[in-house]
Amino acid sequence: MNILVIGSGGREHALVWKIAQSPKVKKIYCAPGNAGTAELAENVNINIDDIKGLLKFALEKKIDLTVVGPEMPLVAGIVDLFEEKGLKIFGPNKAAAQIEGSKVFSKEFMAKYDIPTAQAGIFTNSKEAIAYINNVGAPIVVKADGLAAGKGVIVAQTVKEAMAAVNQIMEDKEFGAAGDKVVIEECLVGEEASIIAITDGETIVPLASSQDHKRVFDNDEGPNTGGMGAYSPAPVVTDQLMDTIYNSALEPFMVGMKREGIVYKGVIYAGIMVTKQGPKVLEFNCRFGDPETQPIMMRLESDLVEVFEKTVEGKLQAVNLKWKERAAVCVVLAAGGYPGKYETGLPISGLDKISQLKDAYVFHAGTKGPGVLTAGGRVLGVTALGDTIKFAIDNAYRAVSLISFKGMHYRQDIGKKALKCLRKRARI
């Protein structure tokens, strides 16, 4: 098969890496890809927002299956466009992708189908939004309705901060039309977990659980980022909790989509807050998580291409995923200054030393060749397996210690929460 993967992050490198292990695959293309994908696939210089260009390429190269990484092309309708031309593509169509493309749609959908989530108000007018904030008080969360490159959610600790966020989104239009509406919601407290599942519109197959590390600094301090590291499995997600999440969020999600007349195929990712009252959905995403996909792919034994094919064909029922009984940890190496301003074009050293390590692999995110230079905020995802989470952490940081570039920074505490959770359980 000829496969096209769309995107250029650590997520896409991990997908390409896993796809490359399938005996079904003849050739992989990655658009636009990075220096890591270039080693396993042919990078194609087409941007993720050029969906007509991607279609033309897929037709020309007789692509048998396209896999979409980021949300943007999904929300823009790439699946509908490819399917109209009879091309196989893994991901939800435009109507289905609204679950991530519009926080208002998502919130109304969750309310309609009784999916536990934060209490919220929806506003099209900044004065009303501010009056609501004054009434409810802080902490409070302000969310732009549309896609905002991961920057549209502000967890405000004070009323003043929340008001400033509303003004930024609705008056200054920092995210353009994505800020025509806002969702203002209750600030939930607890531990977060990522539940990523694949569905063909009927059957839901949850992947192994994982946990992201959103804040830039250790101990969850500093501003939010795209994710500074992840591990799988997440011990906070016990089998019992997974059942609760399946029954209270994933199953009603599918029932709801069907009632809305939407055939939802592809990834459904529930960002969960495990609160004292039980798990609540922070948001649904219509794509794989990044960095979560990096440790998840390292643990997956099954043929990913077969899973994608069965999803597209509506035959997921026949799929039984197999996982390595080991833990995986991914530590993101970020550019100096990230998530703020940062430099690019810096040489990276030590990558050649990693290939000698048995259990570690470096997924590239913001890199470009030739010679592997930094090209983004999140530069690399150093990912390692271990027989326990503790060993996986040690293996990942051992690999990290071999790599360097000017200004590089990373969190030192990736996986600590898993250890804490396991220790607490051992004491009970």
Chain residues binding ligand AMP by CB under 6 A are: 118, 141, 143, 153, 155, 185-188, 192, 214, 224, 271, 282-283
Q: Whole-angstrom Cα distance, residue 65 to residue 303?
A: 14
Quick one: CA torsion of 20, 25, 29, 34, rounded to 10 degrees?
0
Q: Whole-angstrom Cα distance, residue 371 to residue 189?
A: 44
Query: C-beta of 57: minimal distance to ligand GLY in Å?
Result: 25
Residue nearest to ligand AMP (CB): 283
Q: Whole-angstrom Cα distance, residue 400 to residue 333?
A: 8
Query: C-beta of 221: minimal distance to ligand AMP in Å?
Result: 13
Query: C-beta of 214: minimal distance to ligand AMP in Å?
Result: 5
Token readout for 147 is 């896609």
Pairing relation of β-strands 182-186 and 120-123? antiparallel
Which of ligand GLY, ligand AMP, none lies near 289, with the C-beta cut-off 5 to 8 A by kind?
ligand GLY
By beta-carbon proximity to ligand AMP, the closer residue of 43 and 194 is: 194
By beta-carbon proximity to ligand GLY, the closer residue of 22 and 34 is: 34
Query: C-beta of 181: minimal distance to ligand AMP in Å?
Result: 14
Stretch that binds ligand GLY, among 25-33, 282-290, 296-304, 376-384 (CB under 6 A): 282-290
Q: Whole-angstrom Cα distance, residue 202 to residue 40?
A: 33
Which of ligand GLY, ligand AMP, none lies near 292, with the C-beta cut-off 5 to 8 A by kind?
ligand GLY
Q: Is 30 helix (H, G, I), strand (E, B) or coil?
A: strand
Eight-class DSSP state of 187: P
By beta-carbon proximity to ligand AMP, the closer residue of 316 and 332 is: 332
Residue from 34, 168, 209, 285 binding ligand GLY (CB under 6 A): 285
Residue type, 144: A
Query: C-beta of 290: minimal distance to ligand GLY in Å?
Result: 5
Question: Which residue carries 């059957």 as its tokens?
Answer: 203
Contact flag: residue 290 with ligand GLY (CB under 6 A): yes
Contact flag: residue 70 with ligand GLY (CB under 6 A): no
By beta-carbon proximity to ligand GLY, the closer residue of 17 and 123 is: 17
- Within a 10 A sphere around the Cβ of 304, how many other Cβ atoms? 23
| Residue 42 Cα to chain centre, angstroms | 23
List the interface residues with ligand GLY, window 167-196 (CB under 6 A): none
Stretch that binds ligand GLY, among 25-33, 260-268, 283-291, 361-369 (CB under 6 A): 283-291
By beta-carbon proximity to ligand AMP, the closer residue of 36 and 271 is: 271
Residue type, 291: P
By beta-carbon proximity to ligand GLY, the closer residue of 92 and 289 is: 289
Q: Is 292 helix (H, G, I), strand (E, B) or coil?
A: coil
Residues 6+ apart with CB under 8 A from 75: 94, 97, 98, 100, 101, 147, 286
- Within a 10 A sphere around the Cβ of 424, how many other Cβ atoms? 11
Which of ligand GLY, ligand AMP, none lies near 227, with the C-beta cut-off 5 to 8 A by kind?
ligand GLY
Query: C-beta of 138: minimal distance to ligand GLY in Å?
Result: 24
Token readout for 344 is 């690019």
Eight-class DSSP state of 422: H
Instruction: Estimate the crossing angle of helix 159-166 against helix 126-136, to 10 degrees.
Output: 170
Contact flag: residue 227 with ligand GLY (CB under 6 A): yes
By beta-carbon proximity to ligand AMP, the closer residue of 227 and 376 is: 227
Q: Give the footprint of ligand GLY on this chain (CB under 6 A).
A: 212, 227, 285, 289-290, 292
